[in-house]
Amino acid sequence: MRPLTDEETKTMFEKLSKYIGENIKLLVDRPDGSYCFRLHNDRVYYMSEKILKLATNISRDKLVSVGTCFGKFTKTSKFRLHITALDYLAPYAKFKVWVKPGAEQSFLYGNHVLKSGLGRITENTVQYQGVVVYSMADVPLGFGVAAKSTQECRRVDPMSIVVFHQTDVGEFIRNEDTLT
Amino acid sequence: MGRKFDPTNNVKRGPGRKSRKQQGAENELAKFITDEDTEQKRLSSRGRKRAAKRVQKVKKPEDAAEEKNKTVFTDENSKWLKPATRKRKLDAAESEDSSDEHWEDEEDEEEEEKVEQQQQVKKGGKDKGKKAAKSKIKPVAEEVKDAEDDEAEDDADGAEDDDDDEEMVDDYGTLDDVSGDAAEEESDGDEELLPIERAAKKAKKLKEILDLDSDEDDDDEEDDDKDGEKDEKSDEEDTVQANMDEMDQFRLPGAEESEKEGVLMCVDLKEIHQRIKDNIEVLCNFSTRREEGKDRAEYIALLKKDLCTYYSYNDFLIEKLIDLFPLSELVDFLEANEIHRPVTIRTNTLKTRRRDLAQALINRGVNLDPLGKWSKVGLVIYDSSVPVGATPEYLAGQYMLQGASSFLPVMALSPQEGELVLDMSSAPGGKTTYIAQLMRNTGVIVANDANADRLKSVVGNIHRLGVTNTVVCNYDGRRFPKVMGGFDRVLLDAPCSGTGVIAKDPVVKTSKDEADIQRSAHLQKELILAAIDSVNAGSASGGYLVYCTCSIMVEENEWVVDYALKKRNVKLVSTGLDFGKEGFTRFRERRFHPTLKLTRRFYPHSHNMDGFFVAKLKKFSKCYSIRVRRERRG
């Protein structure tokens, strides 16, 4: 486990800012103690200093996970967000998409969101903006990328894709092995 | 794949997925289905058999003439051929034979049509014979009519074939065959009856016959079949006699009888069940109900054997269970192991409230209820139209599928906010997340498990339920005090033989023996000492250890805790659970510390949850206990 290098920090923050914008600083400077990002087995974990100190007791090969996993660096040193980061992304998300109850299941199986399943969408969403997907009951389901801007969404036919699927909470079951 | 969506064709949405039509399917289907297909349907395998039988019935007289040695039961050979005792098997063989012949026949006929002239030279004699036979058949109109009725009869046969175990288990197997003729004669009459009705009728008839049997030695039966059935008959009389005995007083079967039973292997489970019941009744008030000259050990030995057969346990486990439970409870326990416990879920109070969750699930068609007064977060699921482990609520981490029994150790542990807690064997993370939810995501939880593969589910569940205060590691629990210590509370859900969760994993019934129990008890003793050593005795709020297993063996529970009491400066405290049975303070030859009655046992039959043991210990000093110190000095 080690702190992130400057480059890694930059890559990761760039990615995060697609979803939560300038709210990143709320993640780093928290009123309830200092929190930090640490890299372990190519994965980025977010934890409080208190947990970090305790985790140093555990040798590297025996440590499986600390705090919350945000995502992982690929072999080409890109950063990929995991569904496990949803708990931190959802409250700070700038752009949100709500899906209708009928389309909920389809999204949770890894499909894109179609216009017919679109319940609500944040105003002024631009194309290719990172969005967090919610159910109509305001339960965060995952995140993706807006395929169309809000204006376009009004016009397109019901079978066209409006949000590209990136991750959804169904992955807790589907890819349990690769979460860590 | 090639089907295109047609927006003009609006397909009606039915109530369910199955009833909904695939879009454009009818157009597609029309391409594949030709007139030929719809015209003639290929017969099913049963249909083919029936057809074969029909042909065979027609052919029968010829067969009888041609091959006298064949064991077919017709009117002609009834004198020397008796109805077979293993009726069903023979039937099957017969039908196979006949079907083969039938196919041959057809081929023959086809060939006849095609190349008659050539064939005539080759097998002239045979064909002539056949033709003669065919002409012979025609006058026998009755037989042909029979063939018409065949289908109904065949159905009856089929029914008999299907429930063959019914036939195997039949108390009065021989009688069944005796009455078989009559039944067959009848079968024409009750074609309209369902198979079950027919069976009931048969049973009724049997009863009548039996009554005759017991009143006066039956005469009509003997007339029918004097030859060859005498020994069987005596047997059957025996069973009747035994039944009569059971009515008033339970009688131990003699050694030779039980031996016979062992050899024959055709034991009747219903009879055994009755015997178990009677046996236990006798054993419960032994002095009055016992049979003269038989001692308790004989009764117990029989009971043990019967329980092993009926519930398919191994001898070792049954013996242990007999020691553990009073006999009146034993059968309840064994029966409870045959049925599954209700599915229970725990609300994740970090994300939702129980009322909201219950409402959301009810809207999805889940039938549920609160778990009980003792839990504020549990819900029982009676039935569900959706898989409970894959609803959007589950994926969003609003609840956790968890047995009712695994709430208990966490409730006993009662972790406080801001504490440092160790869960020594945490997989799959149900208890760990419950601890986190009681601590409201403050403090730190160290979730350990020795198995790296099982830790994946821990990580998944922790993240799904939004728990952020955990460190997951993969140590052997016995090494833990060296890794880190000073925990306020430790939960040790020790690996065990699993004798409390037989309903979940029936393999336990036969796979465990003395060595397995000893082995896990030894591991548990090592683990409990390691757990105690990890606890910080001077902790302001804690210093507690909860030890629990899903086993009900005394060796893995009370004995282990008693061992820890001797080895370390710990004392038992109340678990804070107001139900459950008290732990044993004495068991057979063993005497445990009197405070062991503060531990709690839970059983499937009395609490409708998995068998479980919970003990809560408080560490009051860092030093080893006096006895250990003395030992070390000496």
Q: Residue B97: what pLDDT?
A: 45
A110 contact residues in B (CB cutoff 8 A):
none
For residue B428, say whether it is annotated as part of any ligand binding site: yes
Task: Report which residue type is found at B125.
Answer: G
Name the DSSP class of B221: H
Ramachandran region of residue B312, left (φ > 0), alpha (ψ -120 to 50) or beta? Answer: left
> Average pLDDT of B298-309?
88
Task: Closest CB to A179: pick one of B389, B460, B471.
Answer: B460
**What is this structure's pTM?**
0.68
Min CA distance, A63 vs chain B (Å)? 5
3-state SS assignment for residue B280: helix
Q: Do B471 and A66 touch (CB under 8 A)?
A: yes
Task: Closest CB to A69: pick one of B463, B473, B474.
Answer: B463
A66 contact residues in B (CB cutoff 8 A):
470-472
Q: pLDDT tens-digit profile of B100-150?
A: 444 444 444 544 454 444 544 444 444 444 444 444 444 444 444 444 454
Q: Do A179 and B459 touch (CB under 8 A)?
A: yes
Judged by a CB distance cut-off of 8 A, whether residue B444 touches chain A is yes
pLDDT band at B575 (very low <50, low <70, confident <90, very high): very high
Q: pLDDT tens-digit profile of B268-294?
A: 788 888 888 888 888 888 888 877 778
CA pseudo-torsion sign B503, B507, B511, B516: negative
Could you list the active site residues of B?
550
Q: Do B473 and A62 touch (CB under 8 A)?
A: yes
- For residue A89 the two structure tokens come to 């992304």
A169 contact residues in B (CB cutoff 8 A):
392, 395-397, 464
Q: Do A64 and B459 touch (CB under 8 A)?
A: yes
Min CA distance, A95 vs chain B (Å)? 19
Closest CA to A82 of A55, A112, A46: A46
Q: Which residue of A has its CA nearest to B356?
A: A137
Q: Do B484 and A54 touch (CB under 8 A)?
A: yes
pLDDT band at B59 (very low <50, low <70, confident <90, very high): low
Q: List CB contacts of B303: < 8 A, sequence separation 6 or more.
A: B276, B279, B280, B283, B322, B327
Burial B128-140 (b: 16+ CB within 10 A, else e): eebeebeeebeee
Give the strand pairing for A96-99 and A130-135: parallel
Closest CA to A158 of A116, A103, A121: A116
- B240-to-A46, B98, B213, B231, B428 alpha-carbon distances in Å: 76, 39, 9, 15, 55
Judged by a CB distance cut-off of 8 A, whether residue A180 touches chain B is yes
Closest CA to B547 of B521, B567, B566, B527: B527
Q: Which residue of B has its CA nearest to A60?
A: B473
Q: Which of B68-82, B139-153, B510-524, B620-634 is the most confident on average? A: B510-524
Interaxial angle between packed helices B315-324 and B296-311, expressed in degrees from 0 to 180 and rounded to the nearest 10? 120
Min CA distance, A99 vs chain B (Å)? 12
> Average pLDDT of B58-87?
50
- For residue B364 the two structure tokens come to 């999805």
Q: Rounded CA gap, B433 and B56, in Å?
A: 70
> Average pLDDT of A17-39?
90
Judged by a CB distance cut-off of 8 A, whether residue B593 touches chain A is no
**Does B199 have pLDDT greater than 60?**
yes
Judged by a CB distance cut-off of 8 A, whether residue A51 touches chain B is yes
3-state secondary structure A74-136: CCCCCEEECHHHHHHHHHHCCCEEEECHHHHHHHHCCCCEEHHHEEEECCCCCCCCEEEEEEC
> Average pLDDT of A118-145?
92
Q: Do A67 and B469 touch (CB under 8 A)?
A: yes
A172 contact residues in B (CB cutoff 8 A):
395, 397, 460, 463-464
3-state SS assignment for residue B589: coil
